[in-house]
Chains A and B, each alone.
Chain A
């Protein structure tokens, strides 16, 4: 039935619809540069969504945990074998994505008889020097984008754009870790709130997307975090250039977060 070309195009189109539906309730992921590295943040329920991949590489993901796990293992295998056979400096996010998992994701997406990966992936990489950060985000169809200061994952491109817009502004080299965690959390809240509104909007007005103006005022964003974080936890990790040893990844502990999170949030979490 899919032998005819237009049927195949139709099948791929259906797939997009199906996949878009899967991400509607997912938790957005934010990664952004700060003075000594990169912060990755999301709010998760149970299964983690932020992981260490290699010495200078970290991953954030959205989607089905089993699919994410499979791709995470692919990346880990690739990175470690490459790092051992060549050198750790040859393990770059860009190579991992372009020649590693992007083709795999694309192939799974287009093979309409098989199940696609229900994942969106973000790879963050710190350079030896400040300002040499790389951010890559891969969509469920294998398309990827590269950026220099930040990257986000959310249910739709539109929401991702809004989140990225909120992160623009100050120079990342001057942003302290505390400021970066605050900015990442506000961007997460903005994305999550837009996603929820989109779902509510659909319920109320049929399939029309919610077009409510996205207010970016800080108190309302923190109020949203306080509402949602009760039964979940804030997951945050850094790639920190100033860390000793070759592995630069460090997951922030609840104690670290207690110090770094904005005050209005701290009380509701403790």
Chain B
């Protein structure tokens, strides 16, 4: 008996190709993105991302959704080449559903993590050629361990657990330091923050990233553009409404004075 319920394998038997390196691609300027972040708060995990996509110095798009729901309890935030990242998300989404529907049980959280690694590994050739590098954050609720978890990956598919937080994308070096500072010496560690407090932190962090990284969009109040912020708990995924983000931003993020 072969491996049952493997959608990616099924696609391959149908002639589907993934992660193929494009030749002569080194001098092309491909679309990339981002600052994405995830941290554990009191009730679960918060995942957030800005909305800008760039190609070299050009802003391609300012309404990109980089925090994508894979199923009812897992989210993948993407940094890198969106074309490859969206394809990965589509494969994962179908893989998890296909597994559940064929095997009549949910794929374990560990199984989901493996699926992400496997796709990244298949993508190495494209990642190294410069046309398909993706460094995602995968977060979800692990029902076996009864806790929400964060994992981040490098472009080759190595998997690391973000025990307290994880960041990725071009703007991430800026906020990595801030996260460390806030979590260690702030009024309270991230893990005890309420939903509202966490949302404030997420908006402040992304605004800081946008300050120092031209490829990160931050908040554009004139265009009513706010980052995407999702919260994962045992109950499922909640997306913060734009109106709430606007309110939070005006009350606690926009610069004083």
Contacts and interface: CB of A to CB of B under 8 A. Distances in A.
A11 B101 CA distance: 37
B89 to A, nearest CB: 12
A207 to B, nearest CB: 40
Contacts of A53: 101
A247 B94 CA distance: 11
B11 interface: yes
B122 interface: no
Nearest to A53: B101
Interface string B68-92: 0101100000000000000000110
Interface residues of A, number: 16
A76 B91 CA distance: 15
What DSSP secondary structure best describes chain B's contact surface? helix
Contacts of A48: 104
Interface in A148-178: none
Contact of A52 (B14, B101, B236): B101
Interface stretch (A26-34, A80-88, A214-222, A260-268): A80-88
A245 B94 contact: no
A252 to B, nearest CB: 15
Nearest to A73: B102
17 contacts: A51-B101, A53-B101, A55-B97, A76-B102, A77-B10, A80-B7, A80-B10, A80-B94, A80-B97, A80-B98, A81-B10, A84-B11, A84-B91, A245-B69, A245-B71, A245-B72, A247-B71
Given A52-B100, A73-B102, A244-B72, 17 more contacts: A48-B104, A51-B104, A54-B101, A76-B98, A76-B102, A77-B10, A80-B98, A81-B10, A83-B94, A84-B7, A84-B90, A84-B91, A84-B94, A244-B236, A245-B69, A247-B71, A247-B72
